[in-house]
Amino acid sequence: MKRSYELTRAAEDGDVATVARLLGAGAAVDALGEDARTALDLAAQENHADVVRVLLGAGADAAAHAGPYHDLTPLTCAAMFGSRDAVAALLDAGVSMAAQDRIPYTPLVVAASNNHAETVALLLDRGAAVEDRAMKNRTALEWAACFGRVESVLLLLDRGAEATGTALSCAERHAQRGEEERGRYGRMAEALRAALGRDAA
């Protein structure tokens, strides 16, 4: 048990040498740490790409439950925290960007919903389906708009995402909350109106 805790702590700290040493000494790669999270889960969250690569090379389960609430995968956890390098390492290893049977989130949706534009761009560059509706029949653009993620919305539109009435309604709700919100979220609503070919409201 002690060795598994050491492994998860080292992974969370980005201590690749200790991770490699512990694995070589027989630590179980998917053992749970003190907070019931694996080394891969924690390394992905903290953007320790070198540790992610070592763990994957040792056979870590890239489809296991991950994240603070155990409702993600290591890839979607990395995307949620904007851990771009870890996302790249997982994709390099062939980890799927599709929703898993038990875990419906997709990395593109969670990255966009948390406004991690660099991670969104990476996922799109790697072939993420911009119009995927795996999460409650909404696209990443719609989720980003409804969470008020201006940068993600503008990036997704620029990368070919289809503007929708749902996204526009969400953007307009944010913009109508007050003067400060109008200035920030107005850009998002204007971009969506333009994409939809509608006159400014």
DSSP-assigned states of every residue in 3-66 = HHHHHHHHHHHT-HHHHHHHHHTT--TT---TTS--HHHHHHHTT-HHHHHHHHHTT--TTS-B
Question: pLDDT by residue for the chain (201 residues), tens digit each?
Answer: 476 799 999 999 999 999 999 999 999 999 999 889 999 999 999 999 999 999 999 999 999 999 999 999 999 999 999 999 999 999 999 999 988 767 788 999 999 999 999 999 999 999 999 999 988 889 999 999 999 999 999 999 999 999 999 999 999 998 888 787 787 888 999 999 999 997 554
Question: Given this model, what pLDDT does residue 177 score?
Answer: 82
**What domains lie within the chain, and their CATH numbers?**
1-74 (1.25.40.20), 106-201 (1.25.40.20)
